[in-house]
C-alpha cells in the first residue's frame, strides 16, 4: 500500500512521498511496543507533551508532525478522509489498530453518550447490511495488523466490497458486536 496523498486530521491534504513509505512504516513499527492483539500498543518515541500526562505519540515525517495513532490508522486503512481518529481504549499513545475507530467529532460525542447502553442495531436484520455474519467472522479471523498483504484492512475492504472504515469497526467490534 502506498498512500501518496492523505487527509490529515484537520481535513487538509497532506502528501507522504511514495518512495519513503516503506521506510516510514518500518520506522513507525520499530518504535511501537507491539503486544497481544487485545493489548494497548504504546508508542515508545516522542510524545506531544511531558509526563505525567499520557500524551499522544508524535512522529515527524518530511517536516510534518504526525499523531502516531493517526499514522497507525493510515498504515492500516489508508486515508482518514478528514475524520477524527479516536481511541476505544482512551489511551492516547496507543497505536493498536484494533483500538482505533474513525468518525466525526459528533460521532465521538454520541459514542461517549452511548457507552454503557446496549446497541439496538444488530447484524443481518439491518436493511443496509452488506455482509453476512460468517463474513464478519472471516474478516476478524483474517485481519492482520502491520501488514500490506491480502489480510490488511485495505485488502479486506476491497475483497468484501465495503469501506475500510467498516473493516475497522468490525475488527474493533463497534459493529457486529453480537457476532462471536
Which residues contribute to the site for Zn ion (CB under 5 A)? Answer: 40, 89, 91, 94, 96, 99
CB 84 within 8 A of CB 108: yes
Q: Which CB atom, from 88 or from 129, has the smaller least distance to Zn ion?
A: 88
Work out how close the CB of 103 gets to Zn ion at its nearest, in angstroms, rounded to a whole number: 17
Instruction: Give the cell for residue 157.
Output: 475492504
Reduced to 3 states (helix: H, G, I; strand: E, B; else coil), residue 20 is: helix
Q: Which CB atom, from 40 or from 61, has the smaller least distance to Zn ion?
A: 40
Work out how close the CB of 29 gets to Zn ion at its nearest, in angstroms, rounded to a whole number: 16
CA atoms within 13 A on the CB side of 114: 12
Work out how close the CB of 101 gets to Zn ion at its nearest, in angstroms, rounded to a whole number: 11
Q: Which CB atom, from 88 or from 162, has the smaller least distance to Zn ion?
A: 88
Amino acid at each position: 500500500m502506498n498512500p501518496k496523498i492523505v487527509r490529515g486530521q484537520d481535513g487538509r491534504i497532506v502528501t507522504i512521498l511514495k518512495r519513503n513509505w516503506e521506510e516510514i512504516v518500518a520506522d513507525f513499527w520499530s518504535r511501537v511496543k507491539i503486544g497481544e492483539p487485545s493489548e494497548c500498543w504504546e508508542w515508545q518515541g516522542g510524545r506531544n507533551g511531558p509526563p505525567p500526562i499520557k500524551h499522544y505519540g508524535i512522529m515527524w515525517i518530511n517536516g510534518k508532525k504526525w499523531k502516531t495513532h493517526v499514522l497507525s490508522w493510515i498504515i492500516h486503512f489508508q486515508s482518514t478522509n478528514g475524520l477524527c481518529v479516536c481511541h476505544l481504549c482512551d489511551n492516547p499513545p496507543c497505536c493498536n489498530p484494533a483500538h482505533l475507530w474513525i468518525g466525526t467529532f459528533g460521532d465521538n460525542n454520541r459514542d461517549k453518550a452511548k457507552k454503557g447502553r446496549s446497541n439496538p442495531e444488530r447484524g443481518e436484520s439491518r436493511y443496509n447490511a452488506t455482509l453476512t455474519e460468517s463474513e464478519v467472522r472471516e474478516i476478524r479471523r483474517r485481519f492482520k495488523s502491520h501488514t500490506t498483504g491480502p489480510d490488511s484492512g485495505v485488502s479486506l475492504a476491497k475483497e468484501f466490497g465495503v469501506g475500510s472504515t467498516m473493516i475497522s469497526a468490525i475488527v474493533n467490534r463497534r459493529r457486529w458486536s453480537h457476532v462471536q
